Amino acid sequence: MPSSFGLEALKAQAIAARTYAISDMISGRFSSKGFHVDDSTMSQVYNNSSESGLATKAVYDTKGLVMKYDGDLIDAKYYSTSHGYGANPDEIWSSNGIFPGNKVDYLSAKSYLLDKSTYNLASEDEAYCFFKDWSLKSYDSNSPYFRWKVTFTKQELQNTIEKNLPLVYEDESDYILTLVNDKYVKADISLGSLGDLKDLKVTRRGEGGNIMELVVVGTNGTYKIIKELNIRYVLRPRKSDTGGNHDIAIERIKSSDLINSSLLPSAFMVFDIKRDSDQEIEYVTFYGGGYGHGVGMSQYGAGYLASKGYSFKDILKTYYIGIDIEKIY
């Protein structure tokens, strides 16, 4: 979190990160690998940045403070930017190999729009209007990722799907399914399995607007991609995956375009398919919002709330419902 977000936002971040780290230690999440905390997005990202005096003050001012729910440490998820809504964790991750996963009482999809308006983002029609509306204002409007869009030609999209579908299947075979005899089943996927791209369809969407299931139709096969991160990886928007002659640019509501990103900013998105007179796909434009998984505390949102005079306790209780903040050392 940038130190420019202010002391109260940094305190909220310190408590969330501390809670997350201690929870990982106590649960022994990585014990089989010989460590407590991973330095990637699997746990706590470490970017080897120079120390900030304000961030250090936030750490020491909140020494020993963690979040609990019903007496237990919470799963203190956080992410960069919301699109104006949060997401339900069970609609983002699996639990013990089952998707959707387990519901979590203190984490839920809710509106962070400034006018407090609500949408049924599980509805394709409402999601379509919501993500294409760049005039909406939320706690996260200052983020370049609050709204974004990216366009692929048919060949570019076909190429990145063709390349990445078998790669994601290797790691997530339970969530990349093949249509066989009108049923989606687990089956080996190799290069060339897609063929000519014919269609994309959302078959399930979460309350926060995230695509939970995306069906990709090709002449050689039809596939269902399940879970937001898998979708983001299969649709990688970078030149090395699309195989085209030009860079892939993600246009953002603020700041410069993001060029050849390693994955889409989020799965909170809708898309338009432009077809020619023969109904063949010409290009596909994705309209999205937010950066990250969308569960728990939005860091840009925390920065906004701090600028409006919210204390770290108020910020945390905005994103983690019904929690207690306790000192454990």
CB-based contact 285:69 (threshold 8 Å)? no
Structure tokens at 275: 């077809």
Sign, Cα dihedral of 38, 43, 48, 53? negative
Q: Is the torsion defined by CA of 191, 195, 197, 199 positive or negative?
A: negative
Question: Which pLDDT score is estimated for 107?
Answer: 97
b/e code 30-59 from CB counts within 10 Å (16+ = b): eeeeeebbeeeeebeeeeeeeeeeebeebe
CA angle 228, 313, 72 (to 5 degrees): 65
Model pTM score: 0.95
Strand order in the sheet with 281-288: 258-259, 249-252, 148-153, 281-288, 269-275
3 state SS of 138: strand
Of residues 301, 310, 297, 296, the one with CA closest to residue 7: 310
Beta bridge partners of 180: 183
**Per-residue pLDDT at 246:** 92
User: Hey, what long-range contacts does 209-215 have (CB within 8 A, 24 or more apart)?
Assistant: 209/83, 209/85, 209/87, 209/119, 209/121, 209/122, 209/127, 209/130, 209/131, 209/268, 209/289, 210/87, 210/91, 210/92, 210/266, 210/267, 210/268, 210/294, 211/267, 211/268, 211/269, 212/91, 212/100
Which tokens belong to 209?
A: 């607007």
Which string of DSSP letters, residue by residue, matches 236-305?
--SHHHH--SS--EEEESSSSPEES-SS-S-SBEEEEEEE-TTS-EEEEEEEE--BS---SEEHHHHHHH
Q: Please tell me the total number of residues recorded for the chain in this structure.
A: 329
Which residue type occupies 31? S
Residue 121 to residue 321: CA distance in whole angstroms: 20
Cβ(260)–Cβ(44) below 8 Å: no
**Structure token digits, residue 201:** 């369809």
Tell me the angle at which helices 7-27 and 53-61 cross, rounded to the nearest 10 degrees: 60
As a whole number of angstroms, the distance between CA 312 and CA 325 comes to: 10
Q: What is the pLDDT of residue 73?
A: 97
Strands 65-69 and 72-73: antiparallel
Per-residue pLDDT of the chain in tens (329 residues, 90 and over written 9): 999 999 999 999 999 999 999 998 888 888 999 998 888 877 888 888 889 999 999 999 999 999 999 999 999 999 999 999 999 999 999 999 999 999 999 999 999 999 999 999 999 999 999 999 999 999 999 999 999 999 999 999 999 999 999 999 999 999 999 999 999 999 999 988 999 999 999 999 999 999 999 999 999 999 999 999 999 999 999 999 999 889 999 999 999 999 999 999 999 999 999 999 999 999 999 999 999 999 999 999 999 999 999 999 999 999 999 999 999 99
Quote the pLDDT of residue 79.
Answer: 96
What is the β-pairing status of strands 297-298 and 78-79?
A: parallel
Distance CA 246, CA 186 (A): 35
pLDDT of residue 322: 97
174, HSE (Cβ side, Cα atoms, 13 Å): 9
DSSP one-letter code for 231: H
